[in-house]
Amino acid sequence: MSKPPKPLPPPSQSFTNRKTKILSALSVPDAEYTDLSPKGSVDVGIRDLIDEINAREGLVTTSSCAGRVSVYLEGRSTGTSPQDEREEAATAGGVRSSSAGGKGGGEWLFVSHDPISSLPPGQLERGYESLFGLVSLQGQEGGEGDEKGRMVHFKFEPMILHVLTASHSHAQKVIQAGMEAGFRETGAVSLLSRQDDDHNPVVAVRSMGLSFESLIGVEGTDGVRRAVVGRGYLDRVVRNSEKLFKENERRIGRFREALKGWFEEGPKKKDGWEDADARRERKRSEGLRRKQELEKGKQETTEKEQQSEEGGIGIILEPPEVL
């Protein structure tokens, strides 16, 4: 029989104090709540998930993003993008709101935490170039020095959560749930803590496999941001982001179920699952049964051969009938 899972260690007073401080911000209305994410608030699509995580002893979220599609102008010198802040938020010291710009001078041109198709019709009627702040490729002339201009990127990013945990045991359960749900790059981003942290690992639940990025424009020396792809290509990248939003939503649902399984039921067992001891015993029994069947088969074959030989001798020795 499998051993029951070991009980989780109780949260330290230091962790409890930090969690209380974070949860105090959740008592305000959704429209006013801010966390450590660059957006500055909890996305509607994962607010229930955030509530479920924070209701568990030993866990509290420090930043979150339900997934988003964005168009951004990269930084002037480093080529960095504003979304770098999603990772920086993991170890920030307190609640903050979103910033207007981005790391390295990057600039958001468009951001949505919902599929583009869900936007009001008025925002879409002028086409994606207008929505993304670009001049259409059709009939345009490139500015001088465009090859040295800053690039405009279209990017989809799946959900990412940063969860502060009370112990390495708590962190391991969150990691296992994330991996089972398809967030393959889930892992602890802060295992070695400061002396006053009482070893409270921060786990990032994430999946780079769902990310998608494409170059769609460039800013010339004249400051004009021009599309470098046609409308057909823009349609394609938008449709691809719609598919990724749906897959992201499915994985979020699986993560909720996996987290429940690990914290309420222990490791989730698939249909027909058996532990190592049960499997070993089953294999031993199957081996003995196969051995017995083989021995029985050999014995039956031997008996049949003997009967055949005896029958043949009888025929040879039997005298012919006299007519």
pLDDT digits (tens, 9 = 90+) for 262-293: 998 655 554 454 555 566 677 777 778 878 88
Terminal alpha carbon distance of the chain? 77
Residue 115 resides in a domain: yes
Residue 224 resides in a domain: yes
Residue 274 resides in a domain: no
* Band of residue 42 on the pLDDT scale cut at 50, 70, 90: confident
Q: Which are the contacts of 194, defined by CB distance < 8 A and separation ≥ 6?
A: none
Owning domain of residue 90: 13-265
CA–CA gap between residue 179 and residue 161 (Å, rounded): 13
Mean pLDDT of the chain: 79
What is the domain-level CATH number for residue 140? 3.30.1960.10
Quote the crossing angle between the two packed helices 168-181 and 231-260, to the nearest 10°.
130
Residue 231 resides in a domain: yes
DSSP readout, 141-170? -PPTTGGGSEEEEEEEE--EEEEEESSHHH
Residue 230 resides in a domain: yes
Residue 308 has pLDDT above 90, yes or no: no
Global pTM value: 0.70
3-state secondary structure of 71: strand
Number of domains in the chain: 1
pLDDT of residue 245: 98
Nearest by Cα to 226 from 33, 59, 73, 27 = 73
Residue 298 resides in a domain: no
Q: What does the longest C-alpha to C-alpha distance in the chain come to?
A: 124
Quote the crossing angle between the two packed helices 47-54 and 231-260, to the nearest 10°.
30
Residue 297 resides in a domain: no
CA angle 93, 94, 95 (to 5 degrees): 150
Sheet hosting strand 160-165, strand order edge to edge = 59-65, 160-165, 202-205, 187-190
